[in-house]
A and B are shown apart, each in its own frame.
Chain A
Amino acid sequence: MAAPATPQPCPRHGAPVLLLLLTALATATALACRHLRPRDATFPWDSLQLLRAMAPSPPQPCHYQQAPFFPDTLLHTNHPQQAADIALRILQHLFTTLSSPSTPHHWDAQARHRLLNNLQHYKHNLEQCVPANGMLFQGQGPRNLLLNISRYFRHIQDFLHTHNHSACAWDHVRLEAGACFQHLHNLTRTMSN
């Protein structure tokens, strides 16, 4: 005959403990963002070089009508965790845009492939620092910034569609990708503070 099982206590006092554990885990992972791999320190510069190697500038100047530009509001953040969250969102959108099948055919395929690999590696390392949905920072401003980032990349998709994915339109997107890598560098430095 089996001994009667000891009744388990009600887990009403376990929620705060769990929350404390998650906080500690998030803090530990946030500290991990300060110690990115040495390869990641040159990620912005390497990405810029690959952008230039991938897509040479058109010989004739392009006239950009209602072209989207990177929002300057994303630059002003001093919180390391917030900076990491923003950086992660930018990397995800860049990867999606540059991996589109509608990229110009005259672009260098090898340089594009290397650029996409670097994006994937850096994004993977950054995901170790930031939770998937950033739930720890709800209501503290990051959601608005994330919305702002999503709106910006949606505008880029609309711009490409409006200009029929022309060479000039893709050249503008290429230049905006370069601006994104510059801002990623600043966000990385904020994460290291």
Chain B
Amino acid sequence: METLMHGPMRFYQLVYISVLSTACCCSLTERFLGEPPHDLQMKSCNFQHILSWQAKSDPTVPTYYRVLYTDRRNWKTAKQCSNITQLSCNLTDDFNDTSLDYSTLVQSFIGTEVFNSSVLHFTPFTDTYLGPPEVNISSCLNCINVTIKLPTSHFRENEKLLSLIDIYEELDYGITLKTLDGEHKRPRKKTTEEVFSTVIEELYPNRNYCVSVMLTASLNQRSIPSAWKCITADSVAQQDYHAIAIVGAICVSLLLASALKCMHAGGYILQDKSLPHNLVFIRMLAYSPWTSESEDIASVEIIYKEVKKKANESSSGVSDEDDSDDSDSSAISNHYYTGRDIISRVPRSSDTPNVFVQCSTDSTCDNSGSQASENPDADPEDFEEHETDVEEDKDASSELLNPFSEVNCNYSSRRRNSACFTINLKSVLLGALEENVDGSAALLSSREDAIDWQCTRAFQSKLLGDAESVQKPRCHNSSHEWQNSSCSSDESDSSVSDTDQKTEYIRR
């Protein structure tokens, strides 16, 4: 009897267990495929709408999503959210009517299965968050000046971007003031402008205040407040300090400018003194590739005398003579002299400075040759002699490149027992003269190294009693032309009959 009872019971148990196992297997199979999208959220800020959702699916099975929405008239597919794999969708361009209520859902496609999410209702006009605005603050006397700029809207109407004022026509802004005592919300005010300012008055001076601004509309109180910005309210003393600091800075600047100007006028700074042209060349010569020999220098006092007329007479006299003084004629053409004789020579002294004789550029120097040519009475032979001497002197002129070399004069002896010698200014020493020499010697100081010059004519210095003029020796170099003053000051001394008006003599 008990065996008969156990049989059907076991059959029922087997059937029950099989049904349960089948149900479990089916549920397990569904879990593996996936679940409908859930937890739909619309993150909307200034009419930029981003829908996001959560979903669980088998990673081995590809899952695609599609977003659908309706304005309670027609169901549409989101433009950029069809057959997507990401869990978000930008619906900014799909919600083209701000006042409509949109219903949105997400479909998931897992294999051949389609799952629908729940519906999310969203009205852009009332559900988008406004802000945060751009806030700038500045301090004033017992007050704070707050400048507010509305955020940019993402809503487009007929391809035109509208602002929040265009959409809502009027916005409310509320300022929250925070101090150490706590927060204080000021009464809301209305605005219809994109950028506007307001002043928070009746504040305590030298106290720190923090400001935050939030934007709202009559039909949209959802807002994102701006970040806190803090500043200290100005006081009278603080404003005075600012003024004093500014005035002090201006005074110091003026004092510095005047001091610099005085120093510049006194020549202590920014000296703008350029060397004369002659000295610039001498400086250039100082850097020439040739080495110079250090020589003793001596101080020389030279007395110049303007003897231009005499030089003209003497030059004409020379031209009349057949056997004119070669040195004189050559000097006319090439400004060189041939020393007839060494009158005197003062021993060199190491202490003596270099002698530097300046010869300023003068038209007489340039016209020396022309004067000779213009002289109608000039003997052509004289010109030949001049040319000969010129050639000879030209050969010697090459040695002028070395300003410190002494060139021996190789001219033929003169008829008048003249001698050709080279005078180095550095070796010229002035002292007691052989002939009656009166006068004073002018000391010429050299700025740079002395320049050797070759004289092709003997010098006969003549110190004048008045010492008003100085006879400058005539020489020639690449860049300088000497101003000759006299050829011969002593007509009696025909040996030194340098008739060239440009010649200068150093009386020895």
Q: A137 near B: Cβ within 8 Å?
A: no
Q: A175 near B: Cβ within 8 Å?
A: yes
Which of B99, B119, B218 gathers the greatest number of chain A CB atoms within 10 Å?
A: B218
A175 near B218 with CB under 8 A, answer no
A57 near B119 with CB under 8 A, answer yes
Q: For B142, what are the chain A residues with a Cβ–Cβ distance below 8 Å?
A: none
B72 near A58 with CB under 8 A, answer no
> Taking CB as reference atom, which chain A residue is nearest B72?
A64
Q: For A167, what are the chain B residues with a Cβ–Cβ distance below 8 Å?
A: none
Q: A60 near B: Cβ within 8 Å?
A: yes
Q: For A45, what are the chain B residues with a Cβ–Cβ distance below 8 Å?
A: 126, 218-221
A48 near B126 with CB under 8 A, answer yes
Given A61-B119, A178-B101, A178-B123, A185 contacting B219 (CB threshold 8 A): yes
**Interface class of chain A by DSSP:** helix
Interface size on A, residues (CB 8 A): 21
Q: A179 near B: Cβ within 8 Å?
A: yes
Given A44-B219, A45-B220, A175-B101, A60 contacting B72 (CB threshold 8 A): no
| Complexed CA–CA distance, A128 and B60 (Å) | 69
Q: For A59, what are the chain B residues with a Cβ–Cβ distance below 8 Å?
A: 118-119
Q: For B163, what are the chain A residues with a Cβ–Cβ distance below 8 Å?
A: none
B125 near A182 with CB under 8 A, answer yes
| Complexed CA–CA distance, A175 and B125 (Å) | 14
Within 8 A of B (CB), among A148-181: 172, 175, 178-179, 181
Least Cβ–Cβ distance between B187 and chain A, in angstroms: 10
> Taking CB as reference atom, which chain B residue is nearest A67?
B72
Q: A123 near B: Cβ within 8 Å?
A: no
Q: For A181, what are the chain B residues with a Cβ–Cβ distance below 8 Å?
A: 219
B72 near A172 with CB under 8 A, answer yes
Q: For A179, what are the chain B residues with a Cβ–Cβ distance below 8 Å?
A: 99, 101
Given A61-B119, A182-B99, A48 contacting B218 (CB threshold 8 A): no
A61 near B70 with CB under 8 A, answer yes
Q: What does the 1/0 interface line of B102-143 toward A look like (CB < 8 Å)?
A: 010100000000000011010101100000000000000000
| Complexed CA–CA distance, A129 and B358 (Å) | 112
Least Cβ–Cβ distance between A34 and chain B, in angstroms: 14
Q: A41 near B: Cβ within 8 Å?
A: yes
| Complexed CA–CA distance, A69 and B121 (Å) | 17
Q: A89 near B: Cβ within 8 Å?
A: no
Q: For B126, what are the chain A residues with a Cβ–Cβ distance below 8 Å?
A: 45, 48, 178, 182
Q: For B101, what are the chain A residues with a Cβ–Cβ distance below 8 Å?
A: 175, 178-179
| Complexed CA–CA distance, A69 and B103 (Å) | 16
> Taking CB as reference atom, which chain A residue is nearest B217?
A45
Least Cβ–Cβ distance between B123 and chain A, in angstroms: 7
Q: B58 near A: Cβ within 8 Å?
A: no
Least Cβ–Cβ distance between B485 and chain A, in angstroms: 107
Q: For B73, what are the chain A residues with a Cβ–Cβ distance below 8 Å?
A: 64
Q: What does the 1/0 interface line of A34-47 toward B look like (CB < 8 Å)?
A: 00000001101100
B99 near A189 with CB under 8 A, answer no
Given A175-B72, A179-B99, A61 contacting B220 (CB threshold 8 A): no
Within 8 A of A (CB), among B17-75: 70, 72-73, 75
Q: For B75, what are the chain A residues with a Cβ–Cβ distance below 8 Å?
A: 61
Which of A61, A64, A172, A181 gathers the greatest number of chain B CB atoms within 10 Å?
A: A61
Least Cβ–Cβ distance between A55 and chain B, in angstroms: 11
Chain B residues with a Cβ under 8 A of chain A: 70, 72-73, 75, 99, 101, 103, 105, 118-119, 121, 123, 125-126, 169-170, 218-221
Contacts A175-B121, A178-B101 known; 18 new A-B pairs at CB < 8 A: A42-B218, A44-B219, A45-B218, A45-B219, A48-B126, A57-B103, A57-B119, A58-B119, A59-B119, A60-B118, A60-B119, A61-B70, A61-B103, A64-B72, A69-B72, A179-B99, A185-B218, A189-B218
Chain A residues with a Cβ under 8 A of chain B: 41-42, 44-45, 48, 57-61, 64, 67, 69, 172, 175, 178-179, 181-182, 185, 189
The 6 closest A-B pairs by CB, nearest first: A57-B121, A59-B118, A61-B119, A175-B101, A185-B219, A44-B219
